[in-house]
Structure 1
Amino acid sequence: MDKFLLHQQVVKRLAEDLLQAEQAVRAAYETATHEENIAENKYDTLGLEAAYLATGLVRRTEAIRLALADWRKFRPHPYDARKGVQLGALVCLMDSGGQRQYLFLGPDGGSMKLDIGTQLVQVISSEAPLGWAMLGKFEGDEVSIEIGPLQKRFEVLRVH
């Protein structure tokens, strides 16, 4: 599996998300400022609600913009077996039930699932609990995280 292709797909998806978020901001702003939505009484809150929505969408748009900038600067490096799992690693984990999953460890803000041929790859941040737990691990190591009252364990099968 090509990590550079994964990287390109994350950047493309974030750019698409940014475009959609910007369009949503414009629509919410237009609704909030449209003359038909001027409040006529204290119960007429459509304009106010649209303004709140626009404010939240602006924050979301800025978060996507920052994530996109980080992902554009990010360059995944080849796996270094002396360092173990690092940012940019593509990791195959197996849980206690024998289920395998592929994880691509990247900068913050790129959490998404990508279909690569017949393989599903989960993109996660090193700040995510599982991402943090994988840092520095090697093939054959065990990774464990707590999910509520449960302890989930995984084996690192392969790292690319």
Structure 2
Amino acid sequence: MNKQQLQQQVCACLEADLALAIRAAQAAHQAATDEESKAENKYDTRGLEASYLAAGQSRRIEEIRQTLAAWRNLQMREFDETLGIQLGALVWLQAADGRRQCLLLGPDGAGLKLPGDADEIMLITPRAPLGQQLLGLGVGDEVSAGKERWEILRAH
């Protein structure tokens, strides 16, 4: 699995999210400034609600831009056993019941899912409890997620 290609996929997903968020912010801004949003009486809050939505969309755009910048600046290095799992590591875990999952440890964008060669790859960050546990570990080590224990099968 080529980690640079995964990084490009993450950036492409974030760019698509950014474009969607920009369109949504433009629509919210237009709704907030539209003549029909003008209050007809003191209880009419359509314009106020639309302006809150526009402000929220603007914050979301900034968050996506920051996430995108973090991924673009991330140097995807080969796994170094002496350092253990670090940002940019691709990690395969297995539970006691045989279930497996593949994780990509990144600077932001937790929860984003990418298609992998055999399995879906989920992004996690060091801010997540599991991501924090993984830092510095290597193959054969164990981590827990809730009540479940996972063994690190492979790291790349």
For the aligned pair, the TM-score class normalised by the smaller chain equals over 0.9
Structure with higher strand content: 1
1:107 maps to 107
**Aligned AA for 1:122?**
M
Q: What is the correspondence of 1:123-142 to structure 2 with a 5 Å cutoff? A: 123-142=123-142
Q: Secondary structure at the match of 2:127?
A: coil
Compute the displacement of 1:155 (Å). 0.2
Worse-matched range after superposition: 63-72 or 42-51: 42-51
Q: Secondary structure at the match of 1:20?
A: helix
Compute the displacement of 1:42 (Å). 2.3
Q: Can you give the 5+ residue segments of structure 1 that lack an aligned partner in the other structure?
A: none
Compute the displacement of 1:109 (Å). 2.9
Q: Can you give the 5+ residue segments of structure 2 that lack an aligned partner in the other structure?
A: none
CA distance in 1, matches of 2:131, 2:144: 11
CA distance in 2, matches of 1:110, 1:69: 15
CA distance in 2, matches of 1:108, 1:116: 19
**Aligned AA for 1:89?**
A
Q: TM-score, normalised by structure 1?
A: 0.93
1:34 maps to 34
Worse-matched range after superposition: 107-116 or 72-81: 107-116
1:144 maps to 144
2:120 maps to 120
**Aligned AA for 2:122?**
Q
Contact 1:113 1:122 in 2 (8 A): yes
Q: Secondary structure at the match of 2:97?
A: coil
Compute the displacement of 1:43 (Å). 2.6
Q: What is the correspondence of 1:1-160 to structure 2 with a 5 Å cutoff? A: 1-145=1-145, 147=146, 151-160=147-156
Q: Deviations over 1:88-121 (max 9, x none)?
A: 1100001122100000011123530001244200
CA distance in 2, matches of 1:101, 1:109: 17
**Aligned AA for 1:153?**
R
CA distance in 2, matches of 1:63, 1:23: 15
Compute the displacement of 1:61 (Å). 0.8
> What is the root-mean-square deviation in Å for CA atoms of aligned residues?
1.2
Q: TM-score, normalised by structure 2?
A: 0.95
